[in-house]
Chains A and B, each alone.
Chain A
Amino acid sequence: MTHNTRLDLNRRDLLALGTGTVLIAASPLSSHAEQADLDQARRELFGMRPVTEGRVTIKLPPIAENGYSVPLSVEVDSPMTKEDFVKRVAILSPRNPLPLISQFYFSPGSGRAKVDARIRMSGTQSIQAIAEMNDGSLWSGSRETVVTLAACVVL
């Protein structure tokens, strides 16, 4: 047997694959954060203190092939001296089940306020980083990544 007629994946096949997926995709993502959750997480971490955009550079790929392990790099512009250094950086998501992804703590002994990690992203979103300096000032940066969906979904 075996030599089947050749098939070009057409709209109907894609729909067939898609239908299965949409139903499945609905369950694991049944709870996810909204912008309001991100804002609340931010208030819990930093109160109502003003945040200025700038000094924080986030690198994320423009497109990630899935959200299981997306390379994140965050760097804060700081001399990292005893007088002037970054204390911590919080990484926040508006779409993951939990808005707070991670917090990184630095010291003058760090020498450089830069950290690379790999994060989970449940869908296309703009990740925000908020840096707290030793003088208490808060700075932020953000970056968007498009998270694509896999061809085949396996339960």
Chain B
Amino acid sequence: MKRFAGATLIALIPACSAPPAAENATEIAAEDIVSGSIFLTAETRDLQEDNFANPGYLWVDRGEALFSKAPASGEACITCHEAGLSGVAATYPAYDEKAGRVLNLEGRINQCRVTHQSEPAWEYESEELLSVTAFVANQSLGAPVSVDVSGPAQDIYEAGRDYFQTRRGQFNLSCQQCHTENWGKRLRGDTLSQGHGNGFPAYRLEWESLGSLHRRLRDCDLGVRAEPLPYGDPLYVAVELFLAARSNGLEMESPAVRR
């Protein structure tokens, strides 16, 4: 019976005092938008802010090395991007003329791999793609999320919003119900966040690893007992775009530390 003692105790911890969502809100008011890091314990927030001890930097380091190293058949990323990519990640996902679709940062990095380096695209969630994505995202640390959902990105944004607002899975819950309508409330030992992606790729304690936003979305879908989409699925890219637009103005935190 011992293992149930913890669960009982959690139920007794009083709900924390985060502001309640407005009645029937389908959007979070701009002044209430907050990063997931405010729902962490002080110790975990300290770990995120420690740019030595934050384990996400193990991937950032690796990404930096890969960024500077020439692949077999092309030039190193750094050859073109000598000045770095400060602020760039904060504008992704973005509509890409050449691809004719919305690309997230992973997709944009792979586009460079294929078109400029004549290398095969890295597999989604591979060590290499995660590391380079983390390295590029980290160069926008502190920059405000600023994605553009006008023009050809509009339809994709709306597809992402639809996914976010649709009930799914055996629990019949939409993303919206937890992360827009009930954020700040307690669910077992956790406080529901607003579901922003500004910290990704992020080091999740539960993963004991860095992971992409798509890995997080898959976990959310599995959490409500829904069939998750494959990594890199265009619909997840659409959700990513919707989430980014929803968090425009929040500071980029990758590699953030999350539960």
B residues less than 8 Å from A155 (CB atoms): 222
B161: Cβ under 8 A from any A Cβ: yes
Inter-subunit contact B7/A22 (CB<8 Å):
yes
Q: Number of contacts between A and B (CB, 8 Å)?
A: 115
Q: Give the dominant DSSP class at A's interface.
A: loop
B258 to chain A: closest residue by CB: A65
With known contacts A2-B165, A26-B3, A152–B220 Cβ distance under 8 A: yes
B residues less than 8 Å from A26 (CB atoms): 3
Cα(A70)–Cα(B205), bound, Å:
10
Q: Please pick, from A4, A17, A20, A124, the residue contacting B9 in the complex, using a CB distance under 8 A.
A: A124
B181: Cβ under 8 A from any A Cβ: yes
Inter-subunit contact B181/A71 (CB<8 Å):
no
A151: Cβ under 8 A from any B Cβ: yes
B residues less than 8 Å from A61 (CB atoms): 41-43
Could you give, for residues 2-26 of chain A, a 1 whenever the CB lies within 8 Å of some chain B CB and a 0 otherwise?
1110111100011011101110011
B223: Cβ under 8 A from any A Cβ: yes
B residues less than 8 Å from A3 (CB atoms): 26, 165
Q: Quick one: which of B1-35 are within 8 Å of A by CB?
A: 2-7, 9-10, 13, 23-26
Inter-subunit contact B6/A124 (CB<8 Å):
yes
Inter-subunit contact A153/B166 (CB<8 Å):
no
Cα(A13)–Cα(B4), bound, Å:
19
A116 nearest CB across to chain B (Å): 9
Inter-subunit contact A149/B43 (CB<8 Å):
no
B residues less than 8 Å from A29 (CB atoms): 3
Inter-subunit contact B24/A151 (CB<8 Å):
no
With known contacts A9-B182, A61-B43, A154–B223 Cβ distance under 8 A: yes
Cα(A2)–Cα(B175), bound, Å:
11
A154 nearest CB across to chain B (Å): 5
B210: Cβ under 8 A from any A Cβ: no
With known contacts A3-B26, A65-B205, A150-B259, A124–B5 Cβ distance under 8 A: yes
Q: Please pick, from B41, B43, B47, B192, the residue contacting A151 in the complex, using a CB distance under 8 A.
A: B192
Q: Quick one: which of B39-78 are within 8 Å of A by CB?
A: 40-44, 47
B116: Cβ under 8 A from any A Cβ: no
B residues less than 8 Å from A154 (CB atoms): 219, 222-223
B contact set with A: CB distance below 8 Å: 2-7, 9-10, 13, 23-26, 40-44, 47, 161-162, 165-167, 171, 173-174, 176-178, 181-182, 185, 187-190, 192, 205-206, 208, 219-220, 222-225, 259
Selected A-B contacts with CB under 8 Å, 26 pairs: A1-B162, A1-B166, A9-B185, A17-B187, A18-B188, A20-B225, A21-B188, A29-B3, A61-B41, A61-B42, A61-B43, A65-B40, A65-B44, A66-B205, A123-B2, A124-B5, A148-B6, A148-B189, A149-B189, A150-B190, A150-B206, A151-B190, A152-B187, A154-B219, A154-B222, A155-B222
Q: A7-B177, A32-B2 are in contact. List 14 more A-B contacts (CB 8 A).
A: A1-B162, A7-B173, A9-B187, A17-B187, A21-B188, A69-B205, A69-B208, A124-B5, A124-B9, A148-B188, A148-B189, A150-B206, A152-B224, A153-B223
Closest 10 CB pairs of A and B: A148-B189, A152-B223, A151-B187, A151-B190, A2-B165, A68-B205, A149-B189, A154-B222, A7-B177, A154-B219
